[in-house]
Amino acid sequence: MPADTADNADKTEGAGSAVEADTGDGTVDGPHTVLVTGAGGSGRTTVAAATACAAAGLGHRVLLVSPEPAARLAALLGHEAPERAGSADEPGVPRAVPGIPGLWLLRVDAGQEFRTRAVQLQERGKAALDLLGAVPLDEDELTQLPGTAGPALLHALRTAHRGGTGYADGAGSAHGAEAPDGFDGVDIVVADLPPLPDGLNLLVLPEQTRRWLTRLVPPERQTARSLRPVLAQLAGAPMPAQWLYETTTRWSGELAGTERVLGAPRTVVRLVTEPGPLAADELRTALAGARLHGLRLESVIVNRLVPAGSADSWLAGLSGRQQETLARLREECAALDVPLCELPHLGRDPRGADDLTALARAARSAAAHGVEPGPPPRTGRVYAAADDVPQGWVEDRLAEDGLLVWHLPLPGAVREELQLVRRGEVLTVGVGPYRRVLPLPAALRRCRVSGAGLTDGTLRVRFTPDPQLWPRTDGTGS
């Protein structure tokens, strides 16, 4: 176990022990949230379960949220899966995990969530469908579409944070289930996310979807609903129905609630990797992607380390290669001041509370102490008018070079993986498989992009004021 693991374990004992009532949006007094993702096959679900087990062992009320099948979760947590679906295994309903006091499991059924949402959408658009002569689909006819598992998981996270528990207001799951007896809220939520890169990209999906909705169905168009019949006659085509605006408004509100949960100070990300030959490069890109998305990194877990010093030549060779990779991983994490924890290979698939507890001590750390994605040290003047910067900071070099420079911290990024596109009032930044659309600060909207460079882990985008849009300072105008 690393020397700093005990320190991290001590921090956990105070995390969430005095959680106050939630405000309803999960931003200040809601549960701590640990989002676990990593490379495919690295043991994300195992680490998520060990994390939850560790917190429950310290006396916290913990909710583990996972989209894994019931049989897989039952084997991991060490209890028998129900022979048939029922209230004890209903997706979307938290249930106590036998043998682990304080731990509850919420299994996400993406297929059920998709069918429920699709039927609701058909019902709200019934008038439009009738006008087209469409025959609505029955729930049994609907099959889950690829890519719907992530939104279902986000919905479960948002639900778990409402009022400190997703069932405080009696809303239940998406398909109307009630909270079980004994479930009275949680201190910590541990979410088992999809593998990288989807796991990190999922966390900015609410932000991106809200931007798409605003572009496609502008809120200001709703103010003209009293003129819709007249506009329809003038345009010679039917105007969007009121249900479309109402649905968009409701979706936007749900997405905003999810954004607040993901952006809350108590929400952190835990990355899991195996010490294989590609682990260091994958982790470096993932760390840059997490910083691009503005996420708080709690720790990096290196999973399935075989013991060193084995007399078996095959195990000794494998351990040597793992230690070489581990050294590179330590360098990557040390450069970003991100804690690195090492989990041993148990020699078998982990199963039950004893195995999870054996892993828990190394996985344990304070859920509330993530690494803030703040800007790098500022060596120049901060542009005073740029108070709406979504990330990084804007340097004022107008007097010296006639430039404003937007500093975006992307530690770990390399030039070959970078993508940069200015379109209108947004700047799209990409690092490998990770992309984010950043709204330009007001001052930079009146500028042209004149160049960019990546040095010392920071992307510096240079902007030159557009003479036709920039205020004049020669006394002839303002």
Contact partners, residue 348, CB within 8 Å, separation at least 6: 355
Mean pLDDT confidence for 38-44: 94
What is the C-alpha separation between 81 and 356, in angstroms, rounded?
A: 18
Helix residue ranges per DSSP H, 306-351: 313-336
469 confidence band (pLDDT: 50, 70, 90): confident
Mean pLDDT confidence for 352-374: 64
Return the pLDDT at 224: 54
What is the C-alpha separation between 114 and 116, in angstroms, rounded?
A: 5
Mean pLDDT confidence for 71-76: 92
What is the C-alpha separation between 12 and 365, in angstroms, rounded?
A: 5
Q: Point out the least confidently predicted range of 10-24, 219-233, 392-406.
A: 10-24
Mean pLDDT confidence for 50-55: 91
11-28 pLDDT, tens digit per residue, is 333 333 222 223 344 445
Q: What distances in angstroms separate CA 68 from CA 45, 64, 110, 176, 290, one per listed residue?
A: 8, 11, 10, 21, 24
By the 8 A CB rule, do 26 and 258 touch?
no
By the 8 A CB rule, do 157 and 65 touch?
yes
Return the pLDDT at 131: 75
112-132 pLDDT, tens digit per residue, is 888 888 888 888 777 777 777
- Quick one: 195 exposed, middle or buried, by C-beta within 10 A (0-12, 13-18, 19+)? middle
75 confidence band (pLDDT: 50, 70, 90): very high
What is the C-alpha separation between 269 and 65, in angstroms, rounded?
A: 14
Which of 477, 38, 21 lies closest to 301, judged by CA? 38
**Sheet with 188-192, edge to edge strand ranges:** 95-96, 103-107, 62-66, 188-192, 32-38, 267-273, 297-305, 340-344
SS3 429: strand
Return the pLDDT at 14: 33
What is the C-alpha separation between 175 and 173, in angstroms, rounded?
A: 5
Can you name the residues that pair with 340 across neighbouring β-strands? 300
Mean pLDDT confidence for 360-377: 51
What is the C-alpha separation between 92 and 179, in angstroms, rounded?
A: 9
By the 8 A CB rule, do 42 and 89 touch?
no
What is the C-alpha separation between 455 and 345, in angstroms, rounded?
A: 38
Mean pLDDT confidence for 432-446: 94
Between 249 and 37, the higher pLDDT residue: 37
What one-letter code names the amino acid at 153? L
Per-residue pLDDT at 394 exceeds 60: yes
What is the C-alpha separation between 366 and 302, in angstroms, rounded?
A: 17
C-alpha dihedral sign at 347, 349, 353, 356? positive
Per-residue pLDDT at 320 exceeds 80: yes
Between 172 and 271, the higher pLDDT residue: 271
302-311 pLDDT, tens digit per residue, is 999 999 888 9
% of residues, the chain, pLDDT over 70: 76
Per-residue pLDDT at 167 exceeds 80: no
- Quick one: 174 exposed, middle or buried, by C-beta within 10 A (0-12, 13-18, 19+)? buried
Joined tokens for residue 74: 């039952």
What is the C-alpha separation between 385 and 9, in angstroms, rounded?
A: 43
What is the C-alpha separation between 281 and 125, in angstroms, rounded?
A: 47
Return the pLDDT at 89: 57
